Structure 1
Amino acid sequence: MLSIYHRRVLASLLALCSLPALARDLVVVSYGGPNKDAQVTAYYQPFQQETSLRVIPSTWNGEAAKIKAMVDSRNVSWDVVEVDATLQGRGCDEGLFERLDSKLFGNKADFLPETMQPCAMGMFISSTLLAYNADKLKTAPRHWQDFWDTKRFPGKRAMRRGAQYTLEIALMADGVSPDKVYQTLSSAAGVERAFKKLDQIKPFIQWWEAGAQPAQYLLAGDVVMSTAYNGRISNARKEGRNLRAVWLNNIYEMDYWAIPKGSSNKAAALRFISLASRSSQQKRFAEQIAYGPTNNKALTQLSPAALADLPSAPQNQRTALALDYRFWIDHGESLEQRFNSWVGRK
């Protein structure tokens, strides 16, 4: 006889597999680029084959105001949206996303911690790390301190234009261990320390705002090194470019699937997220772009060579800093304002 828990799980799965309510095509919104291309192969096409529903892909830059406007006007045209860790937490608090029943997506024990959230399901782990062009920089940088060493490594270096990642990197360059970064940044003295460190290289910084830019800057020789998303650097190498990544003290975070509050296509959206949470599909995604699966079973299905290039590989996790999205929910607005003011000062 089935337990109450197993009866509930079975009922949830039956509801998920019931497709009469899937009345229209599914609009899936991602951050674009190679990430979206990998999603097409691993998720969009298999979903279309299983359900006969067409996936209509779209892209965005993470502007929460777009979702808020749709939800507030009750005119929601997006069904599944890729969001970062901070937005999924803030959006859930603000009622922008549907609450999710995690049982629809599998056994929690099979996934990395933080994967299953009240309003979101983790899709992959990416890292922000130090990158350089080995064809143009013969001495390889080894850590964030080298990023600040303009004597040994003269020239411009590129950083993401924003407080997030930048302040953490500044503190690690100043000798703060990853496990103490957010404790330090939570104090006024820690914030001052981060900006004082950034002052040292401000004249040498070329800011980037789009994920494709670091690789472009490095290949063009505009900068000697850059912060970058690991997947972009890995893809450039696949194309024969001699770009290298430094994994020491990388900052990793999880991207999530979320359903905008009020979507009329919720049943299909849930079915899509369920498919995208399977180990087989996440393995396929990781083979297309070097972002780590959230399903632990997918990690065991990948080759050692593929695994070594992922943020979730043990050797890449060893000295890594996990982005604390809760910290950025609490402090992000004030720190971004402070950062923008700092950038604008000569």
Structure 2
Amino acid sequence: MSVKMTMKTLGNSDIKISPIGLGCMGLSEFYGKPASEKQGCALINHALDQGVNFFDTADMYGDGHNEKLLAKALQGRREEAVIATKFGIVRENGEYARTISGKPEYVRKACHESLRRLETDYIDLYYIHRVDTDTPIEETIGEMSRLVAEGKIKAIGISEASAETLRRAHAVHPISALQSEYSMLTRGPETEILDLTRELGISFVPYSPICRGLLSNWKPSEDKTDFRNMLPRFQGEAYNSNKAIADALARIAEEKGCSLAQLSLAWVCAQADNIIPIPGTTKIKNLDSNIGATQVNLSNDDLAAIETILNTSTVQGNRYTDEGMKGVNV
């Protein structure tokens, strides 16, 4: 498979990125048994070979394992890749409970540790993973701007921030990307964030654009290593109700001759020209399918049919547990 992709410019920067990225989290943790090093490296290199150059990771994914895996995969190919990583969620190894830190001294420490694990001299896009309500965002972004001046990072991002926080952050240093969960079943950013990112020239990077597999073929199980099995929207009647919405959308995908996952990605991309989704997978066949979504064109009639389903349905269950909601939309 080979798809011709037109590169985009990351907001408020001169960095060129593919119109779809690869979320690497699941290669190390959270979605069941992690990929082997061989499998992970093969997937990342296949993505590069297919024109995907935007790789999303974080220091807390697998307690640093994900960054190390990315470094291993990119040996000899670092200059081909745009690496986005994140700091700010502090966990004990193997534990889901977390604290949030945006303290300037922690910003610098976390950056140096990520640089070491990534085996690189610079990070292309460095995000604060969640907003620390005990530290003014101006202090966090101020320290990140000093890292830009020192050449340790090229661009600044922020994840799951409110519109007010984003404006305050952008006033300190130009923000290049805002990352938040966004899909046909998670539409919170449409209230203010999408318009604001366009206004400020910021790229919007949706994670979980396939709603953690709900808009594909994933089903709840007893696997305790897959954290989706504890998320409210995947529980009991909430899951059954949400699956009914997915089934209705799947009928539109069938009429289009694409998969529901491809329809989901095409829909996300159709919402604004500054959107770069980062679906994750551990399988090359799914990666190829996700890349193929860039060739799915949705007509006005298609979009209207999707909107009719979404407007007459209510998604049940929160997208995280209370613990996971720490630092979200603040």
| TM-score category of the 2 structures, normalised to the smaller one | under 0.3
* Bigger Rg, structure 1 or 2: 1
Higher relative contact order (CA 8 A, sep 6+): 1
Q: Could you say which structure has the higher strand fraction?
A: 1
Q: Could you say which structure has the higher helix fraction?
A: 1
